[in-house]
Each structure stands twice: as C-alpha cells, then as structure tokens.
Structure 1
Amino acid sequence: MGYNQALVDELNLLLHFDLDTTQQGIKVHHTAAPSQIGAAERLHQKGLITLHDGGYLTELGREAAEHAQIMLGLLKETTSA
C-alpha cells in the first residue's frame, strides 16, 4: 500500500501546524480547495484535529504532525544530496 492522494493531502495539511506552540491552530475556510476541506474533515474524523475545519492538533495529531515534518525533512535532504 502506498500513499494515495487523500493521504498526501492530509500530510500536507498537517505540515501547516506550528509545532513550536500549542496555542495556534489553523482554519480551513469554505473557499479552500476541496482537497484541503476533505483532508481537514478526515483528520478530524481520525481524531487528529479538534474541528472539522481545522482547529488545534490533538495529542495524536501533534505526534502525526511531528512525524510528517520529520519525514519531509528527511526526504528533502535525500533528494538534494
């Protein structure tokens, strides 16, 4: 099983969260791309964010966002080497 577009959209949305603070969330507006709206709804259903249109990371969401950011950093380093 590989990453499908829905999972990539969810990973990309997790990258928008600032992990340096727990006091800042995100808002996915109704005018956003349908892929972003759907990603936010799925992340909420999975218990990773507090609201269907963004909000804050849950404890599990923070862990997922940390892993997503680490993975992106590793992949960027690998491709630029």
Structure 2
Amino acid sequence: MIGAGSVEDMLAEIRLLLQFPRHSRLAGLKLHTDAEPMLRLAAERLYSKGLISQADGGYLTDRGIEAANYAQLLVDSLQPTMH
C-alpha cells in the first residue's frame, strides 16, 4: 500500500511531468528558486529517477518522455466524455 505522503509526492511528479513539452527534445523547462516547493522537490526526485536531465528541470530523458506520455494518457482517460 502507498502512504499518503507518497501519493502526494507522486502527484506532484506527475503534475511536473505534464508541464514538460513533449513535442521536441530541444524544449525543456527550468524551475526557478521561487517555484512552488512541492514542484522543486518533485523535480529533484524525477532527476534522481533518471526522468529529467537536471535537478531543477532541464529536459525529459527517454524514460521521462515515456513516463510523461503515460501520464498524459492517464489524464486523457480520466477526462469526462461527451455522450
């Protein structure tokens, strides 16, 4: 079972992954020192997991692109559908 803190951490990581541009390997993002602390910590965790190129953002790695694509697929799947 995943603890409550872990779920919050993972949601912050997913939120950050979804902010990265996935259309180009030449586009990334940079978290500034005044960024939300939860996102800064999420970036550090994503970096330590090898999903982004730098602890304060940078670019998605190959593994990061795959994770971001899965995150987007999950978000799209959870969107309400029109019937």
TM-score, normalised relative to structure 1: 0.91
* Equivalent position to 2:7, from 4, 7, 16: 4
Shift of 1:20: 1.1
* Aligned positions of 1:1-81 closer than 5 A: 1-2=1-2, 4-77=7-80
Measured in 1, the distance between the counterparts of 2:13 and 2:61 equals 15
Percent identical pairs in the alignment equals 43
Please say which of residues 69-78 and 10-19 is displaced more in the overlay.
69-78
Aligned residue pairs total: 80
Indicate the RMSD between aligned Cα atoms, in angstroms.
1.6
Runs of 4+ in 1 over 3 A off after TM superposition: none
**Paired AA for residue 48 in structure 1:** L
Q: Which amino acid counterpart does residue 63 of structure 1 have in structure 2?
A: E
Distance 1:47 1:77 in 2: 32
1:40 alignment partner AA: A
Structure 1, unmatched stretches of 5+, are none
1:77 offset after TM fit, Å?
A: 3.4
Separation in 2 of the partners of 1:40 and 1:18?
15
For 1:17, the aligned partner's letter is F
Structure 2 unaligned segments of length 5 or more: list them.
none
